[in-house]
Structure 1
Amino acid sequence: MRSLQAQPSSTSKGKGKGKGKGKGKGCILYFEDDKDLAKLITDTLESLDYTVVCYNQYPQDGMTEIERTLLVRPDVILIDIRLPGKDGYEICKELQKHYTKDMPAVIFTSGKSATEEIMRAYEVGGDDYIAKPYRLAELQVKLEKTIASASTMGQLNEELSRARSMVYDTMTENSELGIILRFLETSFMAKSYKALYDHLLATLNEFGLSASATFYLKEEAEYCSPDNCDHPLEQRVFNASKNKGRMIDVGNKTLINYSAVSILIKSMPLDNPLRYGRLKDQLCLLANGVNQRVKALELELINDQHKDHISIVANVIGQMVLDMEKNSVNLSKDFENIILDLESNLGEDFVRFNLLQEEEDALMTSVTDTITSASSLLQRSVEFEAQYSIVMQELMQNLNKPT
């Protein structure tokens, strides 16, 4: 006589811990409308240290009723295909709706062994099929193998999940390192501290982060913030923490100190310890790159100032050379005119003074010798100025050469 009441014939409740672990060897959810067979199977399996919850049909309240009785996830669902109300195939589909991510193994039982039923059982998601009448030893072997297989599959899934997580973390880390390397490669293009900060901020945005920074120059500190505004309290944090260590955590912010720059990283992922730790290592690398660029930038700015000064000096020297050349030409002309005037005046004076020819020749010889000596001295002066001009021109050319 078959009962059509949807009641569990046994409500042994497992106390095992962990998902899917009931008492002893495992937990079995059993659907069988043959009361005698259901009792025999239930008693036998419980004697073998299984937890069994058996229904003679799918309960009206569905999984709500089953979960009230079955406190843990079953390891195996044993379903007779021919049941009143929902048949075994329909029950399997209902259970799949509930166990969407971790469906227990399903073994179908039936008094028929037709190929169509076996194919249908496989189609709806069954893992095994056992035809009635079956021996208890056969059922025991199938249950043990199914539970062992499910356990192995669970371990494989866990290992696969860990492997996927490791691959994802590795890819993420490589991607983040790629961002940092790209920053280090392109930071030399920043020609001012503000440009360097903007480049840093754009890089941090790729990490989902933001930051303020203070650059420590020789005579002053230059503070930069994302909104380009002054934040006095934040600047005081920079000043107070500069010599307090390489890395300081302030809530969900991390301050990284180097000799030429301090960077206050905002919105650190405290809820993700793995990424938080990885980011701290990577951000130290990033901050070190910024620090090196600040030092190089300071030298470049000093070098640019020297270039400007040298350019001014070169222009002054160039003008001096031009003036010297012009003065030298004018001096030669003036000297030549003076000599000509002197010769003309002496000729007139000789006539007026009524000198004897002998006296005139002697005086003329003395004047000529003096003029010759003066001309020689002037020539040497001109040659010296010419050599000096050449030296100055070479100096000016060297000053104007790019460094």
Structure 2
Amino acid sequence: MTKLVLAIDDDKLVHHIIEEAISHFCKLIHAKNGDEGLRLALKYHPDIILLDVEMPGMSGFEVCEKIKKSKKLADIPVMFLSSKADVAERMRGYNSGASDYIVKPFNRDELIARIKVLDAYRQQSRKLTQDIRRAEMTAEIAMTDSGDMGRIMRYVGQSYHAHDLTTLSEYFFEFFVPLQLDVAVAFWYHNSEVFLSGNGALQPIEQELLSKHRDGSRFVDFGRRTIINYPKVSLLIKNMPVDDNAMYGRYKDLLPHILEATNAKIKDMEVSEDALSKVDQIGRVFEELSDQLGGIGGHHSNKVAELGELVKQAQALDAQALTIEQVSELEKLHQHFSFVDDELSIIKFKLSEITEVRHQLIESLNKIAKPWGEEEVAAQTDIELF
């Protein structure tokens, strides 16, 4: 289906570049300033808005803020087009409500790819109304200090039963539902990054901000957003109550507890996964050695048997054909190879024992990673506040 894109920019060349890039799969509407852009947005309700930052009259940030304050337009993803690439500008764009930010000059493929990502994000967001209803229902749960501690204890118990990021993230996001916080998270797992959102859709600019601030301060505040960083997890709170000092302080005291537990759990998952991987690798090496020794051992046993027959034949020969010393040397050689054959058999047996122990170790490590199997864990909504 053709997408309707509104481009708001005072530069005719930019409009031409955008037209050339996306006309094969998008219908483009042109606006030369913010006022015209808002009017056309209300009239046509486009799927995506491409918005210049620096324009005569209203700036792109002001236009974006007006779009996001409009009930009719708030759900439309906005991508900023700007010649400024610094993080401060991106954060300002995100604070004004943008979903993405692309730096001029941009190439055709990059623009197309980002438009497709934003369209997928919007489609995904539309399917999440049931989750929003669920959040509204559970948001009525009382939140006293003891209730907070009860939820933290419940989450710690739940995380103990999680042995993969999918399960852990389900418990993690469930924790925030009663708090009425809209959050996204980045798990820094092994050498990869996994981005997830409480409402199921994570905007490209959110991923970028989490990545850029990963090695920053423990708390990064910008506008109504806050990023809290730990080595293995970073949390983005999209609606931090900065105007309510008491609530703001309470969350800053509360949330590090859940992040510490999450950080510890991810480290534990990495250690368990590494251990399983190493045990599996060692086991495969020993199995290969066992197979190789099996082949060598069979060949060696045949040769030992042949040598034994030669010794018997030599012993039966006439004394003039073979001296006693030569026969004795053959017997010693046969004894030596028989000894080696016995040693090879023992090594094969020991390798089979190691292989069996390796299987037992894998089972033990799996039990540690999944201590209670598929046992159901109570949800945050089942907590009895005390």
- TM-score with structure 1 setting the length: 0.48
Q: Which has the higher contact order (CA 8 A, sep 6+)?
A: 2
Greater gyration radius = 1
